[in-house]
Amino acid sequence: MPLKSIHALHDIPKNLLETPIGDLLAYHNLEAPFKSYTNAQLLIAMCMDNRKFLRIPDRFAFIIRTGGANLRYSEFKVSYAVAIGGIKHIALIGHTHCGMVNLSARKADFIEGLIKNGGWTYERALQHFQNFAPFFEIDNEIDFTLSEARRLRQKYPNVNTLPMLYKVEDNLIYMIEE
């Protein structure tokens, strides 16, 4: 899937200008001056990875950070943002070099880390990995972000959900063209 870069205001699709998604792209990628907000304008769902930082104003967005930007187990939080927060836009942001890609290859490191850092037994760590890794492992950042966006659109048909990719190489957000 091709990525659409946003390096100037004219790179933001016209239908997204004057929307919270367009504002997100302008704030983060173009260093647009911040407006003042009293209520969240959108929900940003992104990975918990510590290499990503968004340049956005205070009170601009609800943010859910979860491994791989996988919202399957955070749907009540999404529903809260939509129902109570009045959210009409979701920016679903995957990222390059995600640790949830090919998670099974890191099984030994995961188990060793839980033993060393968490004080777990080998058996408990192994069972934990085997029980949960299949729910969180993703094959490819872009493909997963696209499939998750489609799933959310079906669940919340009145909410504009857009798949995006954060490149850790340049710290910019790209739109995933569908």
Residues 66 and 79 in one domain: yes
Per residue in 132-160, pLDDT (tens digit) is 998 888 888 999 999 999 999 999 999 99
Residues 13 and 79 in one domain: yes
User: Which pLDDT score is estimated for 99?
Assistant: 82
User: Which pLDDT score is estimated for 67?
Assistant: 85
Examine the pLDDT at 116 and tell me if it is beyond 70. Answer: yes
Residues 129 and 96 in one domain: no
Nearest 10 degrees: Cα torsion 93, 96, 101, 103: -110
Examine the pLDDT at 73 and tell me if it is beyond 90. Answer: no
Residues 172 and 153 in one domain: yes
Q: How many domains, the chain? A: 2
What are the tokens at 143?
């493909």
Q: 48-54 long-range contacts, Cβ below 8 Å, gap at least 24?
A: 49/95, 49/98, 49/99, 49/168, 51/95, 51/97, 51/168, 52/93, 52/95, 52/166, 52/168, 52/171, 53/171, 54/24, 54/27, 54/28
Residues 26 and 82 in one domain: yes
Residues 19 and 76 in one domain: yes
Residues 17 and 60 in one domain: yes
Residues 126 and 62 in one domain: no
Residues 118 and 171 in one domain: no
Range of the domain at 127: 102-137
